[in-house]
């Protein structure tokens, strides 16, 4: 009996000592661990964010008849949601400003989701609008979007707004293919692109065909993801526990092969080089420095990206018999009248890449090397504010862009 008690006391002492050493080791690791990484300073650090107090006087002058509550409500974007095949989608939304329903379309003023479904089954020829949050109409009421104004200008067509926040041109093409596979047959398809492509490609070290929308990996995706045939209700809790411990995180941090922007592999091929979450996160956080290191190559990457996309759009246009209009949008970062862009942004990391790339794209359009329409001057006649932040348009600018698109669809587009 005494022997058993001695064994138990020894085992308890060993166990207690192990736990104490383990806890001490994690405590030391927590002290050694670097603080959680933030976003490295870049040109986006030098803009006035629309949710800041500094932005409120500007927005009051844009919307003089609205109180602060309504102005702030405008700045609340719909949520992202996961889609089984597309990179991501705008979540179904029903509030006083945004309504998103069937096929991810934004619902127009006075419409319901059932109206959109009826319109998609109707006989009037369709105009499909594709783009990011600028085409969606971030900050705009239902009667202030490009789609609304275009519908007024072209009443013989059903204009459907498929703009989705965060979408790049590549994601828009995937959405178009999805809609064509469903069975919809548009008469015309309009793309409005520029800003998201500029930012997303610079924030990814993957090949352009492999680059992902950073938002899509934030929607129940990533290293802990649903896998068919795996037990969805029985995740590996031991692995999750290990990942939460400072000792494990310190080991990951110290054994990581990528520690700074110069360690990031450029143009990573997912098939040959795989995909690294830590590297992707670092590329996003330090994109300003990354773009400085690879500036000419990134500009060439964007040009090639558009060239490949336009070839695919042309093939879809021929195969499905629709007209395609690809507009390179006005970009608020370079509009000297945009009060949200501080002068210091022009000296910050990332700006030279953005400036070089936009100039190169516009030169390629002017020389007919890219089959796009340059909409950079579409807002010149807009009086007052053109932007409600660094990228998104005021209602007056949306109306001007709608007129520009209508003119182009009617074959009276301004010369390139």
Domain residue limits at 191: 44-202+294-409
Answer for the pair 128, 162: CB distance below 8 angstroms, yes or no.
yes
Q: Is the dihedral of CA 281, 284, 288, 291 positive or negative?
A: positive
Fill in the DSSP letter of residue 247: H
Domain contains 161: yes
pLDDT at 412: 79
Q: Is the dihedral of CA 81, 85, 87, 90 positive or negative?
A: negative
* Measured CA distances, 84 to 128, 255, 288 (Å): 22, 34, 32
pLDDT at 220: 54
Q: Is the dihedral of CA 213, 214, 219, 224 positive or negative?
A: positive
Domain contains 384: yes
CA 39 to chain CA centroid, nearest Å? 16
pLDDT at 36: 74
Contacts for 290-295 with beta carbons within 8 Å, 24 or more apart? 290/202, 290/203, 290/205, 290/261, 290/264, 291/202, 291/349, 291/350, 291/352, 291/353, 291/354, 292/349, 292/350, 292/352, 292/353, 293/261, 293/262, 294/266, 295/352, 295/353, 295/356
Question: What does the pLDDT look like over 77-127, one tens digit per residue?
Answer: 888 888 889 989 999 988 888 999 999 999 999 888 888 888 888 889 999
Residue (of 135, 126, 52) closest to 90 by Cα position: 135
Taking CA 314 as the corner, what is the angle to CA 151 and CA 358, rounded to the nearest 5 degrees?
75
Q: What is the CATH number of the domain that holds 358?
A: 3.40.50.1110
Report the alpha-carbon distance of residue 310 to residue 318 in Å, rounded: 12
What's the average model confidence in pLDDT over 246-254? 84
pLDDT at 278: 83
pLDDT at 213: 82
Question: What does the pLDDT look like over 274-329, one tens digit per residue?
Answer: 988 888 888 999 999 999 999 999 999 999 999 999 999 999 999 999 999 999 99
Q: Phi and psi dihedrals of 40, rounded to 5? A: -65, 145
pLDDT at 233: 60
Question: What does the pLDDT look like over 65-83, one tens digit per residue?
Answer: 999 888 988 988 888 888 8
Domain contains 357: yes
* Mean of the per-residue pLDDT values of the chain: 90
Lookup: tokens for 35: 């603080």
Report the alpha-carbon distance of residue 150 to residue 143 in Å, rounded: 11
Domain contains 286: no
Identify the weakest region by mean pLDDT among 155-159, 235-239, 398-402: 235-239
Q: Is the pLDDT of residue 164 over 90?
A: yes
Q: What residues have CB less than 8 Å from 248, skipping those under 6 apart? A: 242
Helix (H) or strand (E) holding 80: strand 80-81
Q: Is the pLDDT of residue 349 over 60?
A: yes
pLDDT at 304: 98
The residue ranking higher by pLDDT, 139 or 11, is 139
The length of the chain in residues reads 416
Q: Phi and psi dihedrals of 349, rounded to 5? A: -60, 140
pTM exceeds cut of 0.85: yes
Answer for the pair 167, 90: CB distance below 8 angstroms, yes or no.
no
Residue (of 392, 389, 401, 323) closest to 51 by Cα position: 389
pLDDT at 400: 97
Question: What does the pLDDT look like over 356-404, one tens digit per residue?
Answer: 999 999 999 999 999 999 999 999 999 889 999 999 999 999 999 999 9
Domain contains 180: yes
pLDDT at 358: 98
Helix axes 295-320 and 169-182, enclosed angle (nearest 10):
20
Q: Is the pLDDT of residue 342 over 90?
A: yes
Question: What does the pLDDT look like over 211-228, one tens digit per residue?
Answer: 888 777 665 554 455 555
Number of domains making up the chain: 1
Report the alpha-carbon distance of residue 186 to residue 124 in Å, rounded: 10
In the structure, what pLDDT confidence band is assigned to residue 161 with cuts at 50, 70 and 90?
very high
Answer for the pair 93, 85: CB distance below 8 angstroms, yes or no.
no
Identify the weakest region by mean pLDDT among 31-40, 132-141, 316-325, 351-360: 31-40
Q: Is the dihedral of CA 94, 99, 100, 102 positive or negative?
A: positive
Question: What does the pLDDT look like over 170-217, one tens digit per residue?
Answer: 999 999 999 999 999 999 999 999 999 999 999 999 999 998 887 776
Residue (of 90, 167, 175) closest to 131 by Cα position: 167
Domain contains 248: no
Domain contains 261: no
What's the average model confidence in pLDDT over 11-33? 86
Answer for the pair 162, 175: CB distance below 8 angstroms, yes or no.
yes
pLDDT at 38: 77
Q: Is the pLDDT of residue 415 over 90?
A: no
Domain contains 6: no
pLDDT at 13: 80
Identify the weakest region by mean pLDDT among 25-29, 45-49, 310-314: 25-29
* Measured CA distances, 340 to 44, 105, 337 (Å): 11, 29, 9
């Amino acid at each position: 009996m005494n022997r058993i008690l001695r064994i138990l006391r020894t085992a308890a002492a060993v166990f207690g000592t192990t736990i104490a050493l383990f806890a001490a080791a994690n405590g030391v690791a927590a002290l050694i661990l670097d603080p959680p990484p933030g976003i490295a300073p870049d040109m986006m650090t030098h803009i006035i964010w629309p949710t800041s107090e500094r932005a409120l006087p500007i927005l009051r002058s844009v919307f003089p008849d609205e109180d602060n509550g309504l102005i702030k409500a405008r700045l609340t974007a719909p949520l992202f949601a996961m889609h089984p095949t597309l990179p991501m989608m705008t979540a179904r939304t029903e509030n006083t400003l945004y309504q998103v329903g069937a096929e991810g379309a934004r619902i127009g003023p006075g419409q319901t989701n059932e109206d959109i479904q009826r319109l998609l089954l109707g006989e009037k020829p369709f105009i499909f609008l594709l783009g990011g949050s600028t085409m969606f109409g971030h900050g705009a009421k239902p009667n202030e979007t490009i789609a609304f104004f275009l519908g007024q200008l072209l009443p013989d067509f059903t204009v459907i707004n498929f703009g989705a926040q965060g979408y790049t041109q590549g994601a828009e093409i995937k959405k178009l293919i999805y809609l064509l596979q469903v069975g919809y047959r548009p008469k015309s398809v309009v793309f409005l692109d520029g800003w998201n492509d500029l930012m997303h490609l610079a924030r990814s070290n993957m090949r352009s065909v492999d680059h992902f929308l950073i938002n899509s990996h934030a929607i129940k995706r990533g290293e802990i993801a649903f896998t068919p045939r795996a037990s969805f209700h029985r995740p590996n809790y031991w692995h999750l526990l290990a990942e939460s411990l400072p000792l494990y995180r310190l080991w990951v941090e110290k054994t990581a092969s990528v520690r700074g922007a110069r360690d990031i592999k450029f143009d990573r091929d997912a098939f040959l080089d795989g995909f690294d979450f830590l590297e992707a996160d670092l590329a996003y956080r330090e994109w300003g420095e990354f773009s400085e290191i690879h500036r000419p190559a990134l500009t060439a990457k964007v040009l090639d990206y558009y060239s490949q996309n336009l070839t695919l759009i042309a093939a879809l246009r021929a195969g499905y018999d629709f007209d395609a209009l690809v507009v390179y949008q006005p970009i608020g970062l370079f509009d000297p009248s945009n009060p949200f862009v501080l002068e210091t942004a022009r000296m910050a990391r990332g700006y030279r890449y953005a400036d070089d790339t936009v100039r190169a794209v516009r030169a390629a359009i002017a020389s007919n090397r890219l089959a796009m329409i340059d909409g950079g001057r579409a807002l010149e006649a807009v009086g007052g504010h053109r932007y409600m932040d660094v990228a998104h348009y005021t209602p007056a600018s949306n109306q001007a862009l709608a007129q520009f698109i209508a003119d182009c669809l009617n074959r009276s587009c301004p010369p390139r």
